[in-house]
Amino acid sequence: MNSVPNQIYLGKDVSKEFELDLEKIQSQTGIQTFPLFVGAAEPLKRPENGAKPPDDHDDHYRRALQELLDELPDEEIKNVIDLVIKSDRDEQCYGLSIKFGFTSAFAKKISSILVEPKLIIRGKFESETEFLLPYACRASPLYNAKPFFGTFSATGNISKEPQIINNFEGATRIEHCVRTHVASSMSITFTFSIILTWSGFGGILQREYVSVFEKLLNDKMFMDCAIIPSNKSKIMCHRSIVAAQSEVLRILLQKGSPEPLSEIEMFDISEQAVKTLVEFLYKNKLDEDHIEEQTALELLQVANRYHITNLEGNLVDTLYFKPRGWFSLGNVLYLYHFTEQIGEYEMLCDKMLSILKKNAKALHSSEAFRDFSRKFPKESANLVGILMSDLKLP
């Protein structure tokens, strides 16, 4: 469902040539810095993808990002990406690193818009350089080699603190090129792109993105499907939204009739759980802080049953990181049984078992355990065996 891109080019196929003063690097200074990128980004560009037409979402977010960055004064977006070369005379080698430096204003603005923003610089390098040949192969001390070339790449988190990336991809080959060069200077040409990436939207862009789907949900416009929970009420939604989030539900909606089914029965799920499910299908996010325990357990079963992977992952993480005191013992018992039966969520299963072991006496005397034993006598006996070292039977 979410076709919003997670990357935009800030600069594409930028070419820069640098003259390395090897004598200077090998002197007392021992360091030379080359600016790959200085100042504000170029106007944001879409990835060039051949004949494929531009994505409307790409245009929308590119413009929105550019407008927000345009609000910053020029002096507040003096960002820098440097290639740094250091000489180690003792080891007779060079150390290469790429340094990312962002202004506080730029880092704050981007972080308020995007989740986990990163900047990637990647491209290629080439150099016309002179190498020493092995003694047996050379007629003269110097040999004019063919262009020395390779690729490089580095990624920096966008933050207020400068970052130095050592051993970036391609650093070893560049170092070899510099180390084996015999003249006092050499030129290297870098051709590269700068790419802004992120894992999700926050702040203004998040609100813009969800507003369309929230409007569809809240205004109940053209809804053509109902999910029916245990109390037989009808929770309305759109077939297309449901089908996009779950392949299983898509097949169910298409099965058995020339016309797609308009109802999905979930009689073992509460109305509250179905409402939370529908809200997730539209917003693609879960309110982990306020979700009720019983609702979370019901939704985990639904997500697993219908292969709603985004919801499933959210719920497993939410339940695993909830404090032990958040769970009632009865729900811990049934959550352990569920995770054990399906053979998934190993860490969550281990956490539930740990809670059961710690509360073995209380579990044995609880109504929840007696109810569980009536429904699942074999599984109950197996669990008692596991807990025997902690459970002191009367």
pLDDT, one tens digit per residue, over 123-173 is 998 886 555 444 444 444 444 555 678 899 999 888 878 889 988 898 888
Residue of 122, 134, 203, 207 whose CA lies nearest to 169: 122
The answer, yes or no, to whether residue 17 has pLDDT greater than 80, is yes
Backbone angles phi, psi at 227, to 5 degrees: -105, 130
Structure tokens at 33: 């810095």
Spatial separation of the C-alpha atoms in residues 181 and 281, rounded to whole Å: 59
Count Cβ atoms within 10 A of the Cβ of residue 238 and give its class: 0-12 exposed, 13-18 middle, 19 or more buried: buried
The answer, yes or no, to whether residue 80 has pLDDT greater than 90, is no
3-state secondary structure of 131: strand
Provide the pLDDT for residue 361. 85
Structure tokens at 360: 């073995």
The answer, yes or no, to whether residue 340 has pLDDT greater than 80, is yes
Tens digits of residue pLDDT in 236-280: 998 888 988 898 998 888 875 555 557 899 999 999 999 999 999
Q: Are 62 and 44 in contact (CB under 8 A)?
A: yes
What interhelical angle do 329-342 and 346-358 show, nearest 10? 140
Structure tokens at 103: 């202004």
Provide the pLDDT for residue 45. 41
Spatial separation of the C-alpha atoms in residues 253 and 225, rounded to whole Å: 9
Q: Give the helix/strand (H/E) hosting 14.
A: strand 7-21
Measure the CA angle with vertex 105, ends 99 and 111; round to 5°: 80
Pick the range with the lowest mean pLDDT from 8-22, 176-190, 301-315: 176-190
The answer, yes or no, to whether residue 320 has pLDDT greater than 90, is no
Q: Where are the domains of the chain?
A: 6-133+143-201
Q: Which is more confidently placed, 340 or 201?
A: 340
Q: How confident is the model at residue 335 (pLDDT cuts 50, 70, 90)?
A: very high
The answer, yes or no, to whether residue 57 has pLDDT greater than 70, is no
**Number of Cα atoms under 13 Å in the Cβ half of residue 57:** 14
Average predicted confidence (pLDDT) for the chain:
77
The answer, yes or no, to whether residue 21 has pLDDT greater than 90, is no
3-state secondary structure of 27: coil
Q: Give the helix/strand (H/E) hosting 165.
A: strand 163-166
Helices (H), 308-394: 309-321, 329-342, 346-358, 360-364, 367-375, 377-387
Q: How confident is the model at residue 12 (pLDDT cuts 50, 70, 90)?
A: confident
**Alpha-carbon separation of residue 123 from 12, 162, 321, 352, 355 (angstroms):** 10, 22, 40, 48, 52
Residue of 208, 227, 191 whose CA lies nearest to 299: 227
Provide the pLDDT for residue 56. 41
Residue of 306, 235, 335 whose CA lies nearest to 276: 235
